[in-house]
Structure 1
Amino acid sequence: MTDDELVLAIRTHVTGRGLPGPASAEDVTAFERVVGHPMPDLLRRTYLEVANGGFGPWRVVSLTETDDWFSDCADITMAYHAFGGPDGDALPSGLVPLMDRGCAMWTLIDFRTPDGQMWDWDPNLCCIRHAPAPLGQSLAQWLTDWLRGQAHEGPYPHRVPADSACHNP
């Protein structure tokens, strides 16, 4: 699917769900300044043309605070800062928490990649050091799986398994 087709399919899929209206371009720019990387184009278009959060298998976090919270965080900036940790290194730079799956598990998106490579965050598998792992999927692939009813809510089958001999805290 092209990005145009995906945006239209997402809009159609979420019609009637009572999601917040689209975010503003200023909100996108403000968050890009926080992260220090540009938002992948498809994610930008989805926030700007579909809804300010709530789309996706477990409902993507809103870009800005709305009356709807799709995680324990009011918005994506709060989620991003929550992952900063005391040393600011809980996540590699440019990885952004996108979707809260519960039990401390998140789906992340890599702002360093133009196609928005997807990552998993699951500290329950081993330790904080091994919690983030790439999924080998772009945002477009991830959204297409969701639209086709093939989304994995976790654990992700594409995830590289954590080392069972890990003794990190």
Structure 2
Amino acid sequence: MTEDEMVERLRVVARARDMPPPATPEAVAEAERIIGFRVPPLLRRLYLDVANGGFGPGRGVLGVRGGNWDGGNFQHIAELYEQGPDPSGRIPAGMVLLYDWGCTIWSMADFRDPSGPMWCTHQGDFWPQGITLAEWIADTTAGSQNLDTLLASGPASARE
């Protein structure tokens, strides 16, 4: 699936679901300033052209200020990033939590790389998912990326 096809597909999904309106350029710029890295181009395009979060698995990824949030303690990706994904300091800067699978399991994107390689964290473990943000969004939208496949790619402690 091309990026244009993905964007158009998610526009259709956004119209059918109750997703927030697109983000403002100022909200994306604010998130980049706080995080210290640029939002990967595909995610930036989705935030600005489709919806401010809400796309992807379940209730969707977190947005930037004014967008989709997890309903819990955090409002948007920059606020969550400021809190720190890992109090132990093992997760490097630029890794941004995007989706809460529950039970302290998070999918995150590496904002240091424009393709946004996806990673996972669970109970102190941290591992690559072996896919890019584009692949992750396509897989989660299609339903082929789920919590079981995510944990199967990780360390043994994540499968317990």
Q: Same fold (TM over 0.5)?
A: yes
Gapped regions of structure 2 (runs ≥ 5)? none
TM-score by length of 2: 0.86
- What residue identity is the alignment partner of 1:77? A
SS of 1:48's partner is helix
Write the distance in 1 (CA, Å) between the matches of 2:132 and 2:86. Answer: 26
Q: Quick check: which one's helix share is greater?
A: 2
Distance 1:79 1:57, change over 3 A: same
Distance 1:31 1:69, change over 3 A: closer
Write the distance in 2 (CA, Å) between the matches of 1:153 and 1:163. Answer: 14
Is this contact kept in 2: 1:120–1:159, CA < 8 A? Answer: no
Query: Which residue is 2:95 aligned to?
Result: 95
TM-score by length of 1: 0.82
Query: Which residue is 2:63 aligned to?
Result: 62
Is this contact kept in 1: 2:98–2:109, CA < 8 A? Answer: yes
Q: C-alpha displacement at 1:158, in angstroms?
A: 6.1
- What residue identity is the alignment partner of 1:21? P
Q: String of CA shifts for 1:28-48, please: whole Å, max 9, x gaps.
A: 111111111111100000100
Q: C-alpha displacement at 1:156, in angstroms?
A: 0.9
**4+ runs deviating over 4 angstroms:** 84-87
* Amino-acid identity (%): 38
Distance 1:84 1:122, change over 3 A: closer
**C-alpha RMSD of matched pairs (Å):** 2.2
Query: Which residue is 1:167 aligned to?
Result: none
Query: Which residue is 1:39 aligned to?
Result: 39
Is this contact kept in 1: 2:85–2:97, CA < 8 A? Answer: no
Write the distance in 2 (CA, Å) between the matches of 1:53 and 1:161. Answer: 29
**Matched residue count:** 156
Distance 1:153 1:11, change over 3 A: farther
Gapped regions of structure 1 (runs ≥ 5)? 165-169
SS of 1:15's partner is helix
Query: Which residue is 2:12 aligned to?
Result: 12
Q: String of CA shifts for 1:11-58, please: whole Å, max 9, x gaps.
A: 112322121100011111111111111111000001001111111103
Write the distance in 1 (CA, Å) between the matches of 2:26 and 2:113. Answer: 21
